[in-house]
Amino acid sequence: MKFQELFAYQKSVDLSMEIFSISKSFPTEEKYSLTDQIRRSSRSVSANIAEAYRKRLYLKNFISKLTDSDAENSETQVWLEYSLKCNYINDSEYKKLFDSSIEVGKLINYMIRNPEKFGVKIS
């Protein structure tokens, strides 16, 4: 299996691309702050899932990278909240993106709780 086939990876890439698309409408003065931060954190979720999968021979490394991914997902939620409070996105956009982020978090946590299902040898 390739990491691209992982459901958590696919969902996190989809979310990141939705955030990228919607953040194009953010004000220019946010280019090097909120826009950059939300794009970076959302992209880091999938990158860390990919790294975790490549480190699946080592349980602690696998879990470490997945917890990094989960942390980046939480950071993305913070930036989504700021985007809403700054009126850069509306309530329905926020809810859709936030709910997707929650789903990604659940998938990541499933991987953390069930490493053996992802090729990690438990000894």
Identify the CA nearest to 37 among candidates 67, 79, 86, 96. Answer: 79
pTM across the whole model:
0.95
* Residue 121 scores a pLDDT above 90: no
Nearest to 77 by CA among 90, 58, 92, 94: 94
The percentage of the chain sitting over the pLDDT mark of 90, rounded to a whole number, equals 96
In a domain, 123, yes or no: no
Q: Is residue 81 part of a domain?
A: yes
- Per the structure, how many domains does the chain have? 1
Does 102 fall in a domain? yes
End-to-end Cα separation, the chain, in angstroms? 22
What is the distance between the alpha carbons of residues 123 and 115, in angstroms, rounded to a whole number? Answer: 12
